């Protein structure tokens, strides 16, 4: 640097510190200026103070010779600059032990306007540090390197986490876009009219295509208006009232709102509005559903129901009349038909008493046949009346314990089976929900058949049990090793007067199984049978459980408990 760069008039030279010292004070390089014959420090910057480890106040006004930098060779160079006005540099200047220093200094003369040296600027260039400082610096470098490694690893972890978060955010944004697209498609393709309104002003911001078609107004004609400003909704409550109701209740609903469309059609709609928060805004969604067709259908249904109720009333009257006629018929059968039968039996007895000795054996046989036929006719009349009564009597359902009911029913056959050799297998039976009296009649008929059709067996076997069928129904069976039946006639078993054996083989009227079928059907159950000729038969019937639905299939029976009842052992 040439000395003339800082040369000027004395007034200009004195202004140099004022202009430059502010800049030099912030320089990262150590700088100072000295004046006078003893080289007094009149300016030091921050870097110079930091290098010497002292404050500015400790250095200003002190001779440069008192600093650790001022060795003899250094002071000689400084004197020459003051004397000659020429810049010099001094290298490898070593400071004291407190502040060791390796480097060089450059001395720049500050010239007055007449060319004389006013002062010298000292520029210090640090070249190296002492061993201790170098060791400390190395330690700091190692620590810095370790710290940098740790920071690098932490940064990599943070970067990895950030990449994951960015990936998650991208996925979330993609999902959000897909969801928004899906909702938009639903909005556009919905078969209900949809309005989107601003939650604060109640003004329409969007309307879907279905509503445009329903009302006949374009989207631009609806956007920006309140619902009440649209002519189809002119009779709806005011916008402020609707907004207030939405704020208080969260929704507004009109079940049957009459509207007139732009083309003059009169329709009925269901109008439902809900308010919800989207970010920092409140949004109102109004769904408008055309219920005109539904109203017409409901009107037709009401008319059909009224007509049906009228028909039910008429049929009830007819049914009541038919029941009354049936009651009259039953009374007629019970009295009018029985009277002739009693006359026939009575006259047969009179004839036998008065003329029995004079009659031939054939005539006596004919009279016996007439008497038996009238008795048979009386039994048929009794069974028909019972069959008719079963179909008309009101059921009284209650909990029925089948174990108790079976024991009670078997007691009825004690006298009849006293002289028989019968092995009874009675399984534990469940509780059912049914009419006890009617179920007793079912058991009487089925057990009676089992006893009757095993009459020709040396050892009769009759089994009563149930098959598991889940929670659907209770299935009871009665099995015997009697005469059985041909399976091809199974469908005829439960018809009225259906008999597969002659009166001479087994007595009966053919009404018992028909009664069983009618009783079980009235309970909502079913009845069926399995059998083979001269092998035996099994009759099943089911009673629906209170919580069961549908019809199940027969299950598998577990091992029975066997009881042998002979002519010397009463039934218990």
Domain shared by 35 and 80, yes or no: yes
304 pLDDT tier (thresholds 50, 70, 90): very high
- pLDDT mean over 271-284: 85
| 493-522 average pLDDT score | 70
Q: Which helix (H) or strand (E) holds 206?
A: strand 204-207
CA distances from 100 to 51, 127, 134 (A): 10, 12, 11
Q: What is the mean pLDDT of the chain?
A: 78
* 291 or 561, which is more confident: 291
Q: Any idea which of 102-106, 151-155, 279-283 has the lowest mean pLDDT?
A: 102-106
pLDDT above 60 for 398: yes
> Do 413 and 522 fall within a single domain?
yes
Q: How many CB atoms are located within 10 Å of the residue 565 CB?
A: 20
When divided into structural domains, the chain yields a total of: 4
Q: Is residue 303 part of a domain?
A: yes
| Residue 88, domain member (yes or no) | yes
Q: What share of the chain is helix, strand, coil (3-state, %, to 5)?
A: 50, 25, 30
pLDDT confidence band for 376 (50 / 70 / 90): low
Q: Are residues 229 and 301 in the same domain?
A: no
- Token pair for 148: 């940098």
pLDDT at 324 over 70: no
User: Which residue has better confidence, 518 or 97?
Assistant: 518
- Closest C-alpha among 174, 266, 286 to residue 222: 286
Give exposure, 259-288, as e/b (b: 16+ Cβ within 10 Å).
beeeeeeebbbbbbbebeeeeeebbbbbbb
CATH of the domain at 265: 3.30.450.20
Residue span of the structural domain in which 242 resides:
190-290
Does residue 5 register a pLDDT over 50? no
Q: Domain boundary residue among 290, 314, 339?
A: 290
In a domain, 448, yes or no: yes
Tell me the pTM: 0.41
Residue 2 in this model has a pLDDT that exceeds 60: no
- Are 461 and 521 in the same domain? yes
Q: Do 472 and 544 meet the contact criterion of CB atoms below 8 Å apart?
A: yes
Cβ atoms within 10 Å of 433's Cβ, excluding its own: 15
Say if residue 475 is in the same domain as residue 542: yes
Provide the 3-class DSSP secondary structure of residue 350. helix
- Please determine, for residue 137, whether its predicted confidence score (pLDDT) is greater than 80: no
- 126 versus 145: the higher-pLDDT residue is 145
**CA-to-CA distance for 460 and 458, rounded, in angstroms?**
6
pLDDT tens by residue, 146-183? 877 888 888 888 888 888 888 888 888 888 888 878 87
Q: Is residue 158 part of a domain?
A: no
Q: Domain with 523 in it: what CATH number?
A: 3.30.565.10
Q: Are 353 and 416 part of one and the same domain? A: no
Considering only residues 216 and 369, tell me which one the structure prediction assigns the higher pLDDT: 216
Is 168 within a domain? no
199 & 325 share domain:
no
**In this structure, are 355 and 261 located in the same domain?**
no
448 and 419 within one domain? yes
Does residue 283 share a domain with residue 240?
yes
Same domain, 266 and 334: no
- Where is the domain boundary, 128, 143, 175? 128
Q: Which value, in Å, is the radius of gyration of the alpha carbons in the chain? A: 61
Q: How far apart are CA 178 and CA 189, in angstroms?
A: 16
Amino acid 508: pLDDT: 55
Q: Percent of the chain having pLDDT more than 70?
A: 77
Geometric angle at alpha carbon 250, from 247 and 256, rounded to 5°? 110
- Gap between the Cα atoms of 569 and 572, Å rounded: 9
Query: Which residue, of 290, 318, 346, is where some domain finishes?
Result: 290
Same domain, 316 and 218: no
Please give the average per-residue pLDDT across 97-109, as a whole number. 70
Is a pLDDT exceeding 80 seen at residue 263? yes
pLDDT digits (tens, 9 = 90+) for 417-467: 888 888 999 999 999 998 888 888 889 889 988 888 888 888 999 999 998
Please report the pLDDT score of residue 323 as a whole number: 66
pLDDT in tens, 526-547: 999 898 888 889 999 999 987 6
513 within domain boundaries: yes
* Confidence at residue 136, expressed as pLDDT on a 0 to 100 scale: 67
**Residue 277 falls inside a structural domain:** yes
CB 87 within 8 A of CB 3: yes
81: in domain: yes
> What distances in angstroms separate CA 157 from CA 161, 166, 168, 479, one per listed residue?
6, 14, 16, 82
């Amino acid at each position: 640097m040439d000395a003339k760069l800082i040369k000027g008039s004395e007034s200009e030279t004195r202004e140099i510190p004022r202009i430059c010292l502010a800049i030099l004070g912030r320089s990262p390089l150590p700088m100072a200026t000295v004046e006078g014959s003893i080289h007094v420090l009149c300016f030091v910057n921050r870097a110079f103070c930091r290098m010497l480890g002292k404050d500015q106040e400790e250095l200003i006004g002190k001779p440069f010779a008192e600093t650790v930098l001022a060795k003899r060779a250094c002071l000689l160079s400084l004197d020459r600059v003051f004397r000659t006005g020429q810049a010099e540099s001094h290298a490898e200047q070593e400071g004291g032990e407190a502040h060791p220093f390796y480097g060089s200094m450059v001395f720049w003369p500050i010239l007055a306007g007449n060319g004389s040296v006013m002062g010298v600027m000292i520029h210090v260039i640090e070249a190296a540090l002492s061993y201790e400082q170098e060791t400390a610096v190395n330690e700091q470098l190692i620590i810095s390197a370790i710290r940098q490694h740790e920071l690098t690893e932490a940064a990599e972890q943070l970067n990895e986490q950030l990449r994951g978060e960015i990936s998650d955010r991208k996925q979330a944004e993609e999902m959000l876009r897909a969801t928004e697209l899906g909702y938009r498609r639903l909005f556009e393709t919905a078969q209900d009219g949809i309005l989107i309104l601003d939650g604060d002003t109640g003004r329409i911001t969007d309307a879907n295509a279905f509503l445009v078609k329903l009302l006949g107004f374009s989207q631009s004609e609806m956007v920006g208006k309140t619902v009440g400003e649209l002519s189809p909704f002119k009779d709806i409550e005011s916008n402020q009232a609707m907004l207030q109701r939405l704020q208080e209740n969260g929704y507004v609903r009109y079940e049957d709102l009459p509207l007139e469309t732009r083309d003059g059609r009169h329709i009925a709609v269901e109008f439902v509005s809900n308010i919800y928060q989207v970010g920092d805004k409140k949004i109102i969604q109004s769904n408008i559903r055309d219920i005109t067709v539904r109203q017409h259908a409901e009107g037709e249904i009401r008319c059909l129901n009224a007509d049906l109720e009228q028909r039910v009333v008429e049929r009830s009257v007819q049914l009541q009349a038919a029941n009354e006629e049936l009651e009259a018929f039953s009374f007629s059968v019970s009295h009018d038909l029985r009277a002739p039968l009693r006359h026939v039996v009575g006259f047969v007895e009179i004839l036998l008493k008065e003329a029995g000795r004079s009659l031939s054996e054939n005539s006596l046989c004919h009279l016996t046949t007439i008497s038996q036929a009238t008795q048979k006719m009386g039994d048929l009349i009794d069974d028909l009346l019972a069959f008719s009564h079963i179909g008309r009597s009101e059921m009284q359902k209650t909990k029925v314990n089948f174990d108790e009911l079976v024991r009670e029913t078997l007691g009825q056959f004690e006298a009849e089976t006293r002289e028989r050799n019968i092995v009874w297998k009675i399984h534990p039976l469940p509780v059912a929900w049914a009419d006890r009296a009617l179920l007793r009649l079912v058991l009487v008929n089925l057990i009676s058949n089992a006893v009757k059709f095993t009459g020709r067996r040396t050892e009769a076997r009759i089994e009563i049990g149930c098959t598991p069928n889940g929670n659907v129904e209770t299935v009871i069976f009665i099995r015997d090793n009697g005469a059985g039946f041909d399976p091809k006639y199974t469908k005829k078993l439960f018809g009225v007067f259906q008999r597969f054996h002659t009166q001479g083989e087994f007595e009966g009227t053919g009404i018992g199984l028909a009664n069983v079928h009618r009783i079980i059907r009235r309970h909502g159950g079913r009845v069926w049978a399995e059998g083979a000729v001269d092998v035996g038969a099994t009759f099943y019937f089911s009673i629906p459980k209170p919580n069961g639905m549908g019809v199940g299939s027969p299950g598998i029976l577990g091992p029975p408990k066997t009881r042998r009842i002979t002519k010397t052992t009463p039934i218990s």
